[in-house]
Amino acid sequence: MQPRRFGQEQVIARRPSAADVLSTNRVLRNTYMLLSATLLFSALMAMVAMATQMPYLGPFVTLGGYFGLLFLTHITRNSALGLVSVFALTGFMGLTLGPLLSAYLTMVPNGGQVIVSALGTTGLAFVGLSAYALMSGKDFSFLRGFVIVGVFALLGVILASLFFDLSAYASVISAAIILLMGALILFQTGQIVHGGETNYIMATVTLYVSIYNIFVSLLQLFGMGGDD
């Protein structure tokens, strides 16, 4: 390893050790395996909700269940109970998605096509962004500030929507959410690659939430031509 000279100082470029590479590969493998399992489980729960014609739970139950299970996942992330928590969280989100999909199928012209298009676009976006982050090897830590501000702004919009009608801005909000979630996928994947994230349960939750929000936002945008 050759030192690189900058002015009067010598700086030795640090290369990842074999242990670092193995650790990163393990986190990536576990994250994508768990993400695949949670996506399948979430889809199953959405199908159950549709088959049983489960009604919309309302914003307070939905948000309360989401943040409660998210907190539970966070505090149990380093134990086996964390796996139970992450499946509880993603299963609950799948259940809340079921009534929305049913509404699109019954109320939106070509609702099935809208759902398939949103699903396919979401998959392509995730694969493309993940592949870019993995193959480029770039450090996306510079997106941290954008992601943090964006998440707080999104929470503000969610709270505002409980008291004000924001339907006139639905397309702008959906587009902004897609942009934010895309940045979050790049940031989270970059964190795994560069060792900033070593807990595959929390990495899975972040990627799952990003995919979920992209899908729902694309549904909103693709369904704009309908009667929803």
Residue 9 predicted with pLDDT over 90: no
Mean pLDDT score, 90-117: 91
pLDDT of residue 165: 82
At residue 120, does pLDDT exceed 90? yes
Region 165-190: mean pLDDT is 90
- Ramachandran angles phi, psi of 49, nearest 5°: -60, -40
Residue 121 has a pLDDT of: 95
User: Would you state the pLDDT for residue 18?
Assistant: 61
Distance between CA atoms of 185 and 190, rounded to whole angstroms? Answer: 8
Of the pLDDT bands very low, low, confident and very high (cuts 50, 70, 90), residue 17 is low
What is the structure's pLDDT at 119? 93
- pLDDT of 23 strictly over 90: no
How does DSSP classify residue 10? E
226: left (phi over 0), alpha (psi -120 to 50) or beta: beta
Q: What is the pLDDT of residue 98?
A: 93
Q: In this predicted structure, what is the pLDDT of residue 122?
A: 95
Question: Which tens digit of pLDDT belongs to each residue from 123-173?
Answer: 999 999 999 999 888 889 899 899 999 989 988 988 888 888 888 888 898
More confident residue, 162 or 101: 101
How far is the C-alpha of 14 from the C-alpha of 157, rounded, in Å? 43
> Binning pLDDT at 50, 70 and 90, where does residue 183 land?
very high
CA-based angle 185:94:107, to the nearest 5? 105
Q: What is the pLDDT of residues 34-56, one digit of tens each?
A: 999 999 999 999 999 999 999 99
pLDDT of residue 11: 40
pLDDT in tens, 51-75: 999 999 888 899 999 999 999 999 9
Instruction: Measure Cα distances from 159 to 60, 131, 187, 199 in Å.
Output: 10, 34, 25, 30
| pLDDT value at 225 more than 70 | no
Q: What is the pLDDT of residue 54?
A: 92
Please say whether the beta carbons of 10 and 4 come within 8 A.
yes
Whole-number average pLDDT of the chain: 87
